[in-house]
Amino acid sequence: MSIATSALARPRRGRLYIVIGAVLAVLAFITAAGIASLPLIQGSTAGIKVVVASHDIKARTVIQSGDLTITNFQPAPPQAFAVVKDVAGKGAKVDIPAGSPVTANLITSAGDLLSNSDVAFLPIPKGWVAVTVPTGEQVGVGGYVQLGDRITMLATINSSTFGQSPGVPVVRTVFRDIDVIRVGPASGPQASQTGTVTSSLTVLMTACDSEFLFWLLNNATMKYELESYTDYANVPTQPDDKCPNVSSATGVGPRDVDKRWQFTTH
């Protein structure tokens, strides 16, 4: 009797071992699959930090720090950036949707934004204008002014221009922190990117200030100072409250110029 019972028990134990083994195999597979999926589940908290657009960025606009944020990606996209400052101040070649990584192939130097036809495009914010002024070695700081620099403009004029008699030569600082968005003509690409002794600077200002500048160019002797990069203000992205659009410019004359800078007060 005991021999028969033992013979029956062996197949039962064998089937039990098979069931237990199958269960363990299934559990091992589930555990392995769960571990393999962890990088996908943790995509928002793990991975490599890259710079992305915090909101939609339009093509042919200058990218500001506020347009960017840092997000983790796994894996990181090719040509991605890890630091916001490496992207801020660059220009968007194409529309960059919110949340998309800002990669090197999507941006360019702000002063060299390109349209689809590869024609140089000047980064002019709404309400502002680009103005070209003459320069040279003595006028333009020996050719050290480069794309992206800021200059201060000084005007020398005889006060007799404003009806004062006898007139005397007077020097006034007339504009500060003027953003240089081009150096030299568009036909000279190297001149637009490096400091050279060129004949012109293209700068950014309001339409109202441009009228004052043209008056001074016609009636005064102009020279420029190169500002320290540590004194640069932020590049404008919105219209100026004092001159919100190009139609705000209504013309200037000697009285307007003297009232603004007081050339006859010395």
H helix or E strand, kind and range, residue 53: strand 48-53
Q: Which residues of 40-59 are buried (b: 16+ CB within 10 A; e: fewer)?
A: eeeeeeeeeebbbbbeebeb
Q: Which residues pair with 225 in a beta bridge?
A: 152
Other Cβ atoms closer than 10 A to 163: 11
Cis peptide before 123 (omega within 30 of 0): no
Query: Which token pair is 259?
Result: 């009232």
Look at residue 115 in the predicted model and tell me its pLDDT.
40
- What would the two tokens of residue 266 be? 């010395």
Q: Specify the fold of 48-114.
A: Type Iii Antifreeze Protein Isoform Hplc 12 (3.90.1210)
Cα angle for residues 174, 175, 176 (degrees, 5° grid): 135
User: At 20, which amino acid appears?
Assistant: I
For residue 124, give both structure tokens. 């002019």
Dihedral sign from CA coordinates of 160, 164, 167, 171:
negative
Query: Residue ranges of the domains in the chain?
Result: 48-114, 128-261
Q: Which of 1, 25, 97, 101 is nearest to 55 (CA)?
A: 97
Q: What is the pTM of this model?
A: 0.55
Backbone angles phi, psi at 110, to 5 degrees: -55, -35
Which of 161, 170, 158, 150 has the alpha carbon at shortest distance from 224? 150
**Contact assessment for residue 182 and residue 198, using Cβ atoms and an 8 Å cutoff:** no
Please say whether the beta carbons of 198 and 143 come within 8 A.
yes
Task: Find the distance separating the first CA and the last CA of the chain, reported in whole Å.
Answer: 131
Taking alpha carbons only, the member of 49, 91, 92 closest to residue 74 is 49
Q: Return the pLDDT at 184.
A: 81
Query: Which regions of the chain are under pLDDT 70?
Result: 1-17, 19, 32-46, 110-121, 186-196, 266
Q: What 3-state DSSP class applies to 47? A: coil
Rounded Cα distance, 139 and 145, in Å = 11
* 166 upstream amide cis, omega within 30 of 0: yes
